[in-house]
Amino acid sequence: MPKEFKFPDLGEGIEEGRIVRWDIKEGDKVEEHQAVGEIETDKAVAEIPSPFSGTILKINFKEGETVKVGEILFVVGEKGETLRQAQGKMRPAGAVGYLEEAPEEPSEVKPPQVPPSPLRKEPTILTTPAVRKLAKELGIDLGKIIPSGIGGRITEQDVKNTVTGIEKPAMVVKRKYDMWGYVDRIPLKGIRKAIAKHMVEAVSHAPHVTVMDEFDSTELVKMREKEKGKAEKEGVKLTFLPYIMKALVPAMKEFPLVNATLEEESEEIIVKKYYNFGFAVDVDGQGLVVPVLKGVDLKSIFDIAKELQDLAEKARQRKLDLQEMRGGTFTITNFGSIGSSFATPIINYPEVVILGIGRMKEKPVAVEGRVEIKPMTPLSLTLDHRVLDGAYAIRFLNSFIINLQNPEKLLKL
C-alpha cells in the first residue's frame, strides 16, 4: 500500500526548503528512519529520514528544486509494487493514506439506483494548504479542477492552469542589461532571503538607536595570553568572545532591561532571568546564522570557549539543529573579525539589544598626562528605544567595560 511522505511543518516560520541531494533513486529499498537525502531551509541543512520501510515508487522533486510545506517529497510502496500498480489498486481516502478498493460485483447483479441526497457530502478534495490558499486568492473553485497529482491530488500547477492566460505560461524575458550596461541577476533565496525578511521585521517593529564606545583591552589581552596555552592542551581555541560573554552577565544583572523582549500584544516588557547569548557566524559569505549558547552564567570561560567552537563549526557546515538557534536573549556580532571598527547592527528581533564588537587596534591614548600605546576595542550597542533609553544603555555599556578591564574577576564568576 503506497505511503506519501510530505515535507513537514518544522515551525519557526519555515515555509519551504530546497533539496540539496538525494541518496536514493526510484526503485531503491529503504528502511524506516533511514536518511535518504538532505534539505536546506532558511535555518539549516537537515537530513531527510524515511518514515516508512519499503520501495521508493516516486520522487517528486529533483536536487536543487524547492518544496513547500505540505507537498509530497516521495512515495513508498511494497516490494515489487510500481506506482502505476499502486494507483490502480488504491483510491484516495482523504488527506492521509489510501483505502483498498472493493472487488467489483458480478455483472448480472446490479446495485439499486439511489437518488442523490441533498445531505450527502461532496467528495473530499485532496490538496495541500498552500494550494487551497492559492485557489482562494485566485477565486478558483477546487471542485471544478481535474487533478493531475498522485492519488488524485490537485497541484499548484493545476490551479494555475485554470486561470485564463496561464494555461501555457508565457515566456518571461529577463534582460541581462539595463539602459546603462550589463547586469547579473542573483536569486534572493535560502539564508539571504530569510535575513531579508527578518531585517525588515526588526526595523519595522523597533526604533533603533546605536551608542558607541571603546575600551582599553590591555588586561584582557594579558589574561587571554596567560590562559591560551592551557586551553590548547584541552583542545580548545580560546578567543576573546568567552570573556565578553562572561562580562555581560553581571552588567545585565545590574541593568536587566538589556536582557528582555517586548510583548506587544500584552504591552509588557518580559525581563529574562536566564542568559542565552546568540553569536553571528558567517556562512561562506552567503549570510549569517545565529547559534545560541545557553546558560552563559552557569559555565566557565573554558566551557564557553569549547561550546562556541563546536557551535560555530556546525553553523559553517549547516548542521545546526533548530533548537541550537532558539531561546536567545541577547545577540553579539563580531564584525571586527573581518576588519571593521564601528557599525550600527540591527537588533535580532524580538530581542531589544545587540552588541557589535569591532577590530582591536593599538592606538595612542592619554594616560595621566602622558601618551601611551594601548590595544583599544570598539563597541557598538544598538537598542530598541521603546524599551531602553540612551542613558540606560550607556550606563550598561560602562558597567560592561569595567568588567572587561578587570578580567581576573571573570574567572571567578
- Whether 114-171 shares its CATH topology with 191-412 is answered no
Residue 198, Cβ neighbours under 10 Å: how many? 16
Q: What is the pLDDT of residues 294-313, one digit of tens each?
A: 999 999 999 999 999 999 99
Q: Report the range of poorest mean pLDDT among 50-59, 288-297, 307-316.
A: 50-59
In terms of pTM, does the model score above 0.75?
Answer: no
Give me the residue spans of the domains in the chain: 1-101, 114-171, 191-412
**Residue-wise DSSP of 347-366:** P-TTBSEEEEE---EEEEEE
| Highest averaged pLDDT of the listed ranges 151-155, 240-244, 264-268 | 240-244
**Structural element, H or E, at residue 5:** strand 3-6
- CATH code for the structural domain at 1-101: 2.40.50.100
Q: Establish how many alpha carbons lie within 13 A of residue 313's alpha carbon, considering only the half-sphere containing its beta carbon.
A: 8
* 353-357/330-333 β-pairing: parallel
In this prediction, residues 107-111 reach a mean pLDDT of 47
Q: What is the pLDDT of residues 184-197, one digit of tens each?
A: 888 888 788 888 88
How distant, in Å, are the alpha carbons of 84, 154, 166, 389 from that of 151?
Answer: 10, 9, 24, 59
> What band does 96 get if pLDDT is binned at 50, 70 and 90?
very low
Homologous superfamily, domain 191-412: Chloramphenicol acetyltransferase-like domain (3.30.559.10)
Q: What is the pLDDT of residue 123?
A: 58
Peptide bond connecting 8 to the previous residue in cis, omega within 30 degrees of 0: no
Q: In the numeric block, which cell numbers belong to residue 43?
A: 535555518
Q: What is the pLDDT of residue 164?
A: 54
Q: Which residues are catalytic?
A: 385
pLDDT at 26 over 80: yes
In this prediction, residues 103-117 reach a mean pLDDT of 47
- Residue 138 phi, psi (nearest 5): -90, -5
168 within 8 A of 147, measured Cβ to Cβ: no
Helix 218-233 to helix 241-254 angle (10° resolution) is 120
How distant, in Å, are the alpha carbons of 194, 316, 371, 373, 397 from that of 367?
Answer: 47, 42, 6, 10, 21
208 within 8 A of 347, measured Cβ to Cβ: yes
Rounded Cα distance, 228 and 207, in Å: 40
For the 114-171 domain, the top CATH level (class) is few secondary structures
Altogether, the residues listed in the chain come to a count of 413
Rounded Cα distance, 121 and 402, in Å: 72
